Structure 1
Amino acid sequence: MLVSDLSDGGMGSLALHPHGIDDYKERHYGSQASDCLFDDIDGIAVVASLYLDEKGELYELDIWKTNWNPLIEIPITYRDV
């Protein structure tokens, strides 16, 4: 799968481009598939959400650090939201 950075201030969000789906800009948000909560190494909470497009295909991995600063590191463990 190809991915590309989204302009999010360095938090790490990605546009997802599944094989056979060409134009990300022509696709639209459909639903949220999953999310998790973890702490960055500086102790700030981060929410990672996986979104599907309107056809149910992978669309975006949205990462939001709750103080809006850039993400430092994704840990190995996380908490369910």
Structure 2
Amino acid sequence: MLEMLPDGASLRDHLADARVEFMKDGGMGSLRFTGLGPRKMDHELIAVRARDEDGMGLEISLNVDQDGDLFELDIWRVDFKPLLRLPEPGELKRA
């Protein structure tokens, strides 16, 4: 998803040291970036759509915090069931 953004390279550099934890989302695969102290979500950086292995729609958004750091990768499967597989980069379409 960062590849789809003109300034995504600067955030991509932070991924090597990133720590994440799964969010309590019923197994849909969302991740929260941790280890940066207290913070809150500020805005959605990019949103994409894709399909899960069984054809069910996925909405995926990458959100940043108040300082512009990666905050969460929010994955929502439209039927609220657990994610079967992460889509490949070529399957992502801008929302």
TM-score of the superposed pair, with normalisation by structure 2: 0.75
Could you tell me which amino acid in structure 2 is paired with residue 45 of structure 1? G
The alignment's C-alpha RMSD in Å is: 1.1
**Greater RCO (Cα-Cα under 8 Å, separation 6 or more):** 1
Q: Which runs of 5 or more structure 1 residues have no equivalent in the other structure? A: none
Does the alignment pair 1:7 with 2:24? yes
Tell me if the contact between 1:17 and 1:58 (Cα under 8 Å) persists in the aligned partners: no
- Structure number having the greater strand percentage: 1
- Runs of 4+ aligned residues of structure 1 deviating over 6 Å after TM superposition are none
What is the Cα deviation at residue 17 of structure 1? 2.7
3-state DSSP of counterpart to 1:60: strand
Sequence identity of aligned pairs in percent?
33
Q: Which runs of 5 or more structure 2 residues have no equivalent in the other structure? A: 1-17
CA distance in 1, matches of 2:22, 2:67: 22
TM-score of the superposed pair, with normalisation by structure 1: 0.87
- Structure number having the greater helix percentage: 2
What is the Cα deviation at residue 10 of structure 1? 0.0
